[in-house]
Structure 1
Amino acid sequence: MHVIGYGTTEASAELVPLSFERPDMRAGEVEIEITHCGVCHSDLHQARDDWGNTVWPCVPGHEVVGLVTRVGDGVTKFKEGDRVGVGCMVNSCQACGPCEQGDEQYCEGPKSATLTYNGPKKPDGSNTYGGYSTGIVVREEFVLHIPEAIDPAEAAPILCAGITTYNPMKHFGLKEGQTLGVAGIGGLGHMAVQLGKSFGAKVVALTTTEAKRSDILELGADEVVVMSDEEAVKNAAQSLDLMIDTIPYPHDLNDYIPLMKPNTTLCVVGNIIEFPSFDPAQMIFNRVAVSGSLIGGVAMTQEVLDRCAEHGIRPLIEKIDIDEVSSAFGRMQEEDVRFRHVIDMAGLKSRMNDVDAKKIDPPARGEVVGR
């Protein structure tokens, strides 16, 4: 399967066209023509090696929507022409405790879960390439049905931003009438606001950007607290039953822990770099837990897609052509997007034969368990 994608070969380089061959489809696998791919802040972190684990070349993209073009022997859930999605994973052992419980993202198998991109497999170090590309081949177990009610471009961010914020709401038992705090109202946070309302919760948005207030209220938030407003922050003290912290870069948790009621949880889903300072006293004296959560399993990702279809929840998106992705990265850094870029792959597919793309090695693939 000949593919053109956009990626980078070093942290300081712009994303450029890259040419490679996807491995041939095997039994139990699904071949997908990609129509749309969301642009996640983690794509920027990975391409710039902010986490120190990037394997080159790096072809980002884990909010993938497309059409099934072929299915392998034994595939029963999908057929040619189906509109489908692929999230942050393309493989796991399917046999360990977390996998059997539907938490494939925490796979304890010998190679752990395989990420859709930058998922190198030891000992050979072969890499995976993601959805900033024209096509992909994925195991049936990691392919999702996109509900007819959801536009394919709008479906893409649900596959990461949606599941990443939905999972902790489910895990920590958000209930009707409780108060949910959402820290950081970007790609993840604007989905968290809408999903929190679907649980019947009161939603308080915590932002550093006053200019976002009207947009946040239109999303359905009940209150907006601008974190530079000392009086507003003081009035919000000990008011939250659950907080989802979506801020994707280092920041001071000490500003947010005082907003939690006693015996509640602040869940970090955005920042995996570091916290520059941390005062445990605020936790200890109110028995506040600081936790973390990583995306969600395949079944729960399907669940959040279906929930968004049922409740009319949609990300606010700006569609771009793939050759605009480097400028989209810059706009993300400047917080100049409301609230998610989505790549429309039609432009790249129409000019595949004319793209001057550097040839790179084929990507890694996962083994099909139980086939």
Structure 2
Amino acid sequence: MAAQSPKFEGWLGKSPEAFHGKMEWGSYEPKKWTEDDVDIEISHCGICGSDLHVLKSGWGETPYPCVVGHEIVGKAVRVGKNVEGIQVGDRVGVGAQGRTCGKDDCTECSAGDEVYCARERIETYGAVYPGDEGKSYGGYADYNRTNGKWVFKIPEGLDSAAAAPMMCGGVTVYSPLKNNGCGPGKTVGIVGVGGLGHFGILFAKALGADRVVGISRKNDKKDDVLKLGADAYIATGEDKDWAAKNARTLDLIVCTVSSDKMPLAEYMSLLKVRGRFIQVGAPDGGLLPPINAFTLLGSAISVGGSLTGSPREIREMLQLAADKKIQPWIVTRPMKDANQAIVDFEEGKARYRYVLENENYGKH
């Protein structure tokens, strides 16, 4: 076990202006070390939409300075004596969650729903720990420090760059698919074909859904969606009478769109009787379009949400990806170009996930 703490440097967002590609590289003090923690030398970090929301304080006031990034893969270089299952030298990953209470008398943690822990839910970045432990800092950096229960070994055969965006983007859609019956005999719609949505198509097929439908506004992504494995595509902005033509054809919809202007009633009309609509996209301010009660009543529709995933689900997802040889569509960008990468991401240029590759990895 390495006793020495590494030097923490990364891309610091110091104000909402950072959102415009104005992060600054610098050193910072990570959370106080405990024997429950793991220090990771970062080789890759995916860019997630959450990063941009937090950089601009879109989900509430961010405790600046902040290093974003919660799709982290790298090598464990320091492992606390209380950590089980992780050793120095292991290739590991970290997702959106940094710590929960983990107590046996916690309803959520004891049931394997740790991501919904009501007592203590520390995000991987932009969170303040209780007491004097400090703040959490993410993966646009050389190193990350996270509680060992939220550090996961990456299976053999799964490429590090491919695994990184699975740590948040992948499990964010895997969890609602798995928990809402995606599998043989089911028809599944994925609304929004971006970083999350393309994972939705990949994992819906991997879980054995009979029919997977990609849903987006324009036809410019149709060929990509079919190449990803979808069976059909709906362009809501270009296909005439799309809602009527596809009414009551889907058992489950997972919506990755974060907009208060999306045609929510029309999406719900695509569901069969007792179908389920699960929202995973999180808009600034949290507002979605209003839901008409008769839309729900008329087809006995259930509406729900899903956050990311539990440790069990993250391990399941990574193993499924390794076993099925799932290959996300990613573009690697140098860590040194992170500012330009987030600008390009916000402009919708990623097809379909940017992954920062740390040129400093292995040089410390």
Equivalent residue number for residue 32 of structure 1: 40
Relative to structure 1, the CA distance from residue 349 to residue 321 in structure 2 (aligned partners, 3 Å threshold; closer, same or farther) is farther
Aligned partner of 1:2 in structure 2 is 7
Tell whether 2:222 aligns with 1:209. Answer: no
2:17 maps to amino acid: S
Q: Which residue of 2 aligns with 1:368?
A: none
Contact kept? 1:322, 1:348, Cα under 8 Å = no
Alpha-carbon distance, 1:53 to partner: 3.4
Q: Which residue number corresponds to residue 282 of structure 2?
A: 271
Q: Choose the corresponding residue for 1:143, options 142, 145, 151.
A: 151
Equivalent position amino acid for 1:243 in 2: I
Asked if 1:246 is matched to 2:292, the reply is: no
Partner residue, 2:3:
none
For 1:125 and 1:275, how far apart are their aligned partners in 2?
36
Q: Distance in 2 between matches of 1:48 and 1:184?
A: 22
Q: Cα distance 1:248–1:331, how it changes in 2: closer, same or farther (>3 A)?
A: farther
SS of residue matched to 2:28: strand
TM alignment of 1:315-354, pairs within 5 A: 315-347=328-360
Return the offset for 1:126.
4.5
Deviations 1:51-86 (A, max 9, x none): 223221121011010001122224341212110001
CA RMSD of the aligned region, Å?
1.9
Q: 1:205 to 1:330 in 2, by over 3 A?
A: same
Partners in 2 of 1:123 and 1:2 — Cα distance?
23
* TM-score with structure 2 setting the length: 0.91
Contact 1:60-1:117 at 8 Å conserved across structures: yes
- What SS does the aligned partner of 2:356 have? strand
Aligned to 1:221: 230
Q: Partner of 1:365 in structure 2?
A: none
Q: Aligned partners of 2:84 and 2:133: how far apart in 1?
A: 32
* Count of matched residue positions in the alignment of Structure 1 and Structure 2: 349
SS in 2 for 1:34: strand
Q: 1:116 and 2:124 equivalent?
A: yes
The residue that corresponds to 2:175 in the other structure is: 167
Name the SS of the counterpart of 1:230 in structure 2: coil
Q: Per-residue displacement from partner, 1:235-281 (whole Å, max 9, x unpaired)? A: 11111100000013333212311111111110000124211443332
5 Å-filtered alignment, 1:271-290, equals 271-272=282-283, 273-290=286-303
What is the SS of the residue equivalent to 1:301? Answer: helix
Query: Which whole-Å CA distance do the structure 1 matches of 2:253 and 2:82 have between them?
Result: 43
Letter of the structure 2 residue corresponding to residue 245 of structure 1: C
How far apart in 2 are the matches of 1:32 and 1:294? 24
1:72 is matched with 80
- Deviation of 1:313 after TM superposition, in Å, equals 1.1
Distance 2:182 2:314 in 1: 17
Confirm or deny: 8 A CA contact 2:41 2:361 kept in the other structure: no
In structure 2, distance between residues paired with 1:331 and 1:178: 36
For 2:38 and 2:290, how far apart are their aligned partners in 1?
46
Which residues of structure 1 form unaligned runs of 5+? 353-371
CA distance in 2, matches of 1:101, 1:90: 18
Q: What's the counterpart of residue 355 of structure 1?
A: none
**Does structure 1 residue 156 correspond to structure 2 residue 156?**
no
Of 301, 317, 324, which residue of structure 2 is paired with 1:311?
324
**Equivalent in the alignment of 2:266:** 255
Check conservation: 1:2, 1:22, Cα contact below 8 A: no
Consecutive unaligned residues in structure 2, runs of 5 or more: 1-5
Q: Measure the CA separation in 1 of the matches of 2:361 and 2:80.
A: 26
Within 1, Cα distance between the matches of 2:261 and 2:335?
Answer: 31
Which has the larger displacement, 3-12 or 14-23?
Answer: 14-23
* Alpha-carbon distance between aligned partners in 1 of 2:31 and 2:180, rounded to the nearest angstrom: 40
Residue of structure 1 in register with 2:109 after alignment: 99
Counterpart residue number, 1:293: 306
CA distance in 1, matches of 2:44, 2:335: 10
CA contact (8 A) 1:26 1:73 kept: no
Pair 1:12 & 2:12 matched: no
Contact 1:321 / 1:347 at 8 angstroms: preserved in 2? no
Higher RCO (CA-CA < 8 Å; seq separation 6+): 1
Q: Which residue of structure 2 lines up, in the alignment, with residue 57 of structure 1? A: 65
